[in-house]
Amino acid sequence: MNTRHTPPAPAARPDVCQPTGSAELAMLDVYMPMMKSAAILSAGKLGLFEALADGPLAIASLADKLQSSLRGTADLADFLVTIGYLERQGEQFANTASTQRWFTSAGRVDYTPGLRWTLEAWPMMGDLSAAVRRGGPQTTLWQAMEDRPQLGATFSAYMDAFAGDLGPDLLAHVPVAPGHRRLLDLGGSHGMHSIRFCQRHPQLDALIVDLPSALSETATTIARHDLSERIHVSPGELLVHDWHGQHDVVLYLSVAHNHTADENTLAIRQIHEALNPGGLLVIHEYLADTPGNAFMAAFRLTLLYETGTQTYRHEQYQTWLEDAGFSGIRRIDLDPLEKGSLILARKA
Ligand SMILES: C[S@@+](CC[C@H](N)C(=O)[O-])C[C@H]1O[C@@H](n2cnc3c(N)ncnc32)[C@H](O)[C@@H]1O
């Protein structure tokens, strides 16, 4: 007899995209995902998940805490229960374990900034058909951020949250050597990747290059971690920017999909030139090698609207890297696949 205790599998979330009855109701496939997104985003904006982070509340106390109507709070909470984001505990409402983990400051990673960003992306996606007709954006995300600086700060905060998720994978897989002293973080935005590498490897200093719109909070974040002496920020367009000499590790994390093939060819060649012998290039990307994957297909559609750029296949990276002179190219697919892949390459 098997006496080993296996923990219970987490309860599967209901798939609200599926019609619930026996009849085919085609509009549920559109209406329910819309309402699911609207409810989760509203909860994030109102601070509902955070309000329950310390424990369950009765609906009147929850409404009070959110300064919202009793009727509205009750309707929202009821729906969030049906889609697996809240649960009832007697007369009270509580976060499910997954909501607590992903959407509150008590969890491992708080993706609330991602909810705020999705609220910004929501009206953009309403205009997707125009991008499909044109074959690209009317205004790129980066141009929109110049006009509306808050957009850049909201995007960087979301990337910061994702960096909290990706950080442990990067630290585990990137072999920084004792002789590596200078790190260059291209498109480094929020700065959290540089901060984690500098905390883990005390011999490292870092330089972050990004567009001004992405860097509004970065110096403050670096100062909060007491690293202003070791991490510097340099606003600019990465392909024409002065990278201040030679480096030992270059991060090119989620940046290649924002550039055309010609721009990546040039960037990877410039990175090779800017690396010391024995230096390491670290790419994080969503590879176009899994055409049947719904997330990857959705991401390519997002890029069509936001930047007009695309994801690339692993062989494409290999060609860019080999042509630039890199060797020891290694691909690491992260788990889950939606977290993307790392590509490591060395300058001999
Ligand atoms: C998807 S975000 C990734 C941020 C960060 N590297 C990370 O992994 O969390 C892409 C970043 O590239 C920056 N970026 C895009 N085009 C750029 C360019 N031409 N020059 C400098 N930075 C650029 C954006 O501002 C943004 O911060």
Q: In sequence order, what DSSP letters do the residues of 89-140 get, joined into one string?
A: ETTEEEE-HHHHHHSSTTSSS--HHHHHHHHHHHHHHTTHHHHHHHTS-SS-
Peptide bond connecting 10 to the previous residue in cis, omega within 30 degrees of 0: no
Q: Is the Cα torsion angle 256, 260, 262, 266 positive or negative in sign?
A: negative
| Ligand 1 center from residue 187 Cα (angstroms) | 4
113 in a structural domain:
no
Cα dihedral 252/110/335/205 (nearest 10): 30
Q: Which atom in ligand 1 lies closest to the alpha carbon of residue 188?
A: 6
On whether both 103 and 125 belong to a single domain, the answer is no
Q: For the segment 189-206, what is each residue's pLDDT rounded down to a tens digit?
A: 999 999 999 999 999 999
Share of the chain above pLDDT 90, in %: 88
43: burial class by Cβ within 10 Å (0-12, 13-18, 19+)?
buried
115 in a structural domain:
no
Report which protein residue has its CA nearest ligand 1's atom 2: 254
CA pair distance 183, 169, nearest whole angstrom: 18
The preferred substitution site among 211, 302, 307, 309 for testing ligand 1, maximizing ligand atoms within 8 Å of CB, is 211
Phi-psi region of 174 (alpha: psi -120 to 50; beta: other; left: phi over 0): beta
| pLDDT for 254 | 98
Q: Is the Cα torsion angle 75, 79, 82, 88 positive or negative in sign?
A: negative
Query: What CATH number is given to the structural domain containing 296?
Result: 3.40.50.150
> Taking 60 as the threshold, does the pLDDT of residue 8 lie above it?
no
On whether both 8 and 79 belong to a single domain, the answer is yes
102: burial class by Cβ within 10 Å (0-12, 13-18, 19+)?
buried
Q: Is 253 in the pocket of ligand 1 (CB under 6 A)?
A: yes
DSSP string, 130-198: HHHHHTS-SS-HHHHHHH-HHHHHHHHHHHHHHHHHHHHHHHHH----TT--EEEEET-TT-HHHHHHH
- Contact at 8 Å (CB) between 178 and 205? no
| Ligand 1 center from residue 240 Cα (angstroms) | 14
| Ligand 1 center from residue 83 Cα (angstroms) | 34
Task: Supply the range of the domain harboring residue 152.
Answer: 121-347
How far CA 117 is from CA of 2, 264, 268, in Å, comes to 48, 26, 29
Q: For the segment 65-99, what is each residue's pLDDT rounded down to a tens digit?
A: 999 999 999 999 999 999 999 999 999 999 999 99
Q: For the segment 13-34, what is each residue's pLDDT rounded down to a tens digit?
A: 666 666 566 567 778 888 999 9
Q: Is 83 in the pocket of ligand 1 (CB under 6 A)?
A: no
Q: Which atom in ligand 1 lies closest to the alpha carbon of residue 237?
A: 20
Q: Is 307 in the pocket of ligand 1 (CB under 6 A)?
A: no
On whether both 96 and 151 belong to a single domain, the answer is no
Tokens representing residue 17 in the block: 């995209």
Tokens representing residue 91 in the block: 């007369």
pTM for the model stands at: 0.91
> Taking 60 as the threshold, does the pLDDT of residue 3 lie above it?
no
Average per-residue pLDDT for the chain: 93
On whether both 40 and 172 belong to a single domain, the answer is no
Q: For the segment 211-238, what is each residue's pLDDT rounded down to a tens digit?
A: 999 999 999 999 999 999 999 999 999 9
| pLDDT for 1 | 38
- Looking at the structure of the chain, the number of domains it has is 2
On whether both 146 and 193 belong to a single domain, the answer is yes
